[in-house]
Chains A and B, each alone.
Chain A
């Protein structure tokens, strides 16, 4: 068992110890957010497919998203998706345009600022919906 997880533990520890600066940390965050979105997508596509295969289950899946646990997960999903989209745009633009490579650090900072500027009002609207949804009498 140790052989299986040793590389993983080493990677996590060295990934944090490696002094690659914010670009390196953003690379790690890009992977984690991507996997997080993928995990939700598997559940989401299954739930939506049930609209044809099993409508009562489809309705149950939609109601599942309204539970407190999923309401918190929804906020995490929003942060992951927005960050992944904005950081991904930065990566795509920079890797397709080598002439910009000297400006990596500035772009990283801009990506973080744009993520924050988009995420904060986005979350505010979602939290409003969540509070309304959870406090409504069913």
Chain B
């Protein structure tokens, strides 16, 4: 930004402003868009999952047998229904964890001003979330192991 005197009229100050570059940081821009659309998708996925488990099933009715029924058992052939359940949970898992990680990053960036603390918090949260996402995806892909009593 430079301030110069306009040659035609010495009393007029003309400020030449460089046009603000649109979408300078494409990574942040992509994440911003991701947060909006993943959020809208999660309204369907998360609320349907939460409603199913807490309103229709009820927490005190939770059983390992339900997990086995939906995921299928390890080593057993999977039905079309179980593939659909796994796909549903995989989408939910990846969207929720991506949305949560970036949300955490934004909150941490705003409140943890010491650079080392911010980076450390992000590293711990990022490692934990990526690890759990992979753990969950592997478990979904493999199915439930039979529970021996």
Contacts and interface: CB of A to CB of B under 8 A. Distances in A.
Query: How big is the B interface, by class?
Result: 35 or more
Interface string B117-134: 100000000001100110
Given A7-B113, A78-B50, A49 B136 contact: yes
Given A8-B111, A31-B107, A49-B136, A42 B128 contact: yes
Given A41-B97, A48-B139, A122-B55, A81 B62 contact: no
A130 interface: yes
B40 interface: yes
Interface in B55-110: 55, 58-64, 67-68, 71, 74, 93, 96-97, 100, 103-104, 107, 110
Nearest to B64: A59
Contact of A51 (B54, B128, B145): B145
Contacts of A134: 60
Interface string A53-80: 1011011001001100011001000100
Contacts of B37: 92
Per DSSP, chain A at the interface is helix
Interface residues of A, number: 49
B103 to A, nearest CB: 5
B122 to A, nearest CB: 13
Interface of A: 3-4, 7-8, 11, 31, 34-35, 37-38, 41-42, 45-46, 48-53, 55-56, 58-59, 62, 65-66, 70-71, 74, 78, 81-82, 85, 88-89, 91-92, 95-96, 122, 125-126, 129-130, 132-134, 136
21 contacts: A7-B112, A8-B112, A31-B103, A34-B100, A38-B104, A42-B132, A45-B132, A45-B135, A46-B135, A51-B64, A53-B139, A55-B144, A58-B144, A65-B59, A65-B62, A74-B54, A89-B40, A91-B36, A92-B37, A125-B55, A126-B55
